[in-house]
Structure 1
Amino acid sequence: MKWFSKYFINGLIIIVPIAITVFAVVNTFSFTEWLLGRYLPIHFPGLALVVVLALIFLIGWLSSHWLLKGIFDYTERLLGSIPIVKFIYNSVKQLSTTVFESQKLLENAVLVPYPHPGVRSLGFVMPDLSEPLSKQFDEEHVCVFVPMSLNLTAGFNIILPRRDIIPLDVTSESALQYVITAGAVMPRSNSNC
C-alpha cells in the first residue's frame, strides 16, 4: 500500500496545479462567452479569447494616458478604502506587480540568519538600501525579503550585514517553488537547468 500512496500523491502534485490553472482559464472564458452571448448578436468560436486579450491590451493602453490614469488611480484608492477588498486587492496587485513587472526582484536567493542566530531562512536580496537607511550602518548592509511559506505576498524585510548572507546557486523559480510549497519542493541548482 505504500507504493499506492506514493504514486497517488505524485499524481496529485502533477494534477492539482494543472487543474486549478485550467479551472481559472476555462471559467474566465466561459463567463466572457456567456456575457458576450447575452449582449452581442454575433458569435464565433474563439470570440472570448479575442475579447479578453483585447480588453487586457486596451486597459494597459488606457492606463498610460493622463486622464484615464487619474480615473484608474481614483478607482484604486476607492478599492483601497474598503477593508476586506483592500487586503485582497493590495495582495494580488503586489504579487502581480512582482511577477510581471520586476522579473529580477525575486531572483537572488540567499540564506540569512532569521528569525534568530543559528537558524537559516531562504530569502531574496532586494534593491540597494536608500541613503537614509544605508548611512545608519558602519558596514555594508542589505535588505532581504524572507517570504512566508505558501504566501509570497507576506513576509519580512530584514536588514543585515552583507557578511551574514549565504548566496545560493539555485534557480529563482525553484527557490520560489520551495517557498510556495512550504519546503516540499527543494531548490534546484543553476547547473541542473
Structure 2
Amino acid sequence: MGASLRRYLVAGLLVWLPLAITVWVLTQLLGVVNGVFGSLLTALALVMPASLREAILGLQHVPGLGLLILAGGLLATGMAVANIFGQWLLTQWDRLMSNIPIVKSIYSSVKQVSDTLFSSSGNAFREAVLVQYPRAGAWTIAFVTGTPSGEVACQLDGEHTSVYVPTTPNPTSGFFLIVPTADLKPLRMTVDEALKYIISMGTVAPPPQPCAPSGAADAPRDQPGRN
C-alpha cells in the first residue's frame, strides 16, 4: 500500500512539476517586464499634464499591456534598423555607447556576444559535439562556439575549436574550452535535443540515430569560420 501510494505521488509530481516551473518562469519574466513598463509610465506621467496623468498611470493595471508594448517595440526597432537610415542611426548609437566610461565595457561585451549568438549567419551554438572533460576518458556534451583567433590562435599548433561545456542541470553556467578539432566527436542530435539531454542529466535521451563508423566520427570536418 505504501509503495503504491508513493508511486502515485511521484507520478503526479512528474505531471505537475514541469507545468509549475514553466508558469513560475513566465511569471517572473512578466513581472520584470511589467516593472520596467510601470517605471516608464511613472516617468512619463511626471512630464504630462495633470489631466492625462491619471489615465497614463491607469495603464499599469492593464494585464499584459507591458508585454504587448515590448513585443511591438522590438518589432518596430527591427523594422527601423532594416534600412540604410536605421543602420546609420544604429552605428551612431553604438559609437555613443562606446565612448561612455564603464558603460562601454559592458555594452561592447554584451553586444559582441548577442551578435554572435543571434546572428542568422553565425555558427555559434548550432552544433553539439562530444569532448573529453574533465579528464581523458570522461566524455560530456559541448556546443561549438567558433574557432580561436588573434593571439590565441597564434599560440596553438594545429586546428582547434572553441566549445562551451554547460553544467547540469543549469546550462546557463559552464566552461569555455579550446580543444584540438580532432579530439571532438560530432553528434547528429540537434542543439535542443542536446540541451534536454544535459538538463535531464541523461534521463531524457534524444531519438535513436544510426551510429556512424568510428572512422567517420574522428575524421576531420569543416569548422565554423574555416574557409
What's the counterpart of residue 135 of structure 2? 116
How do 1:177-188 and structure 2 match up within 5 A?
A: 177-179=196-198, 181=199, 183=201, 186-188=204-206
Q: Percent identity?
A: 22
Q: Secondary structure at the match of 1:67?
A: helix
Give the direction of change, closer, same or farther, for the CA distance of 1:148–1:119 in structure 2 (3 Å limit): same
2:102 matched residue in structure 1: 78
How far does the alpha carbon of each residue in 1:11-39 deviate from its partner, in whole angstroms, 9 at most, with x for none? 11232023212331254136525742671
- Secondary structure of the 2:178 match is strand
TM-score when normalising by structure 1: 0.67
Q: Which runs of 5+ in 1 are unaligned?
A: none
Deviation at 1:146, TM superposition (A): 1.8
The equivalent residue for 1:148 is 167
| Structure 2 portions without partners, runs of 5+ | 1-5, 210-227
Q: In the alignment, what sits opposite 2:16?
A: 11
The CA RMSD measured in Å over matched residues stands at 3.9
Is residue 191 of structure 2 the alignment partner of residue 172 of structure 1? yes
**2:187 maps to 1:157:** no
Question: Which entry has the higher C-alpha Rg, 1 or 2?
Answer: 2
**TM-score when normalising by structure 2:** 0.59
Aligned residues between the structures: 181
SS at match of 1:146: strand
Alpha-carbon contact 2:97-2:103 (below 8 Å) kept: no
How far is the alpha carbon of 1:166 from its aligned partner?
1.7
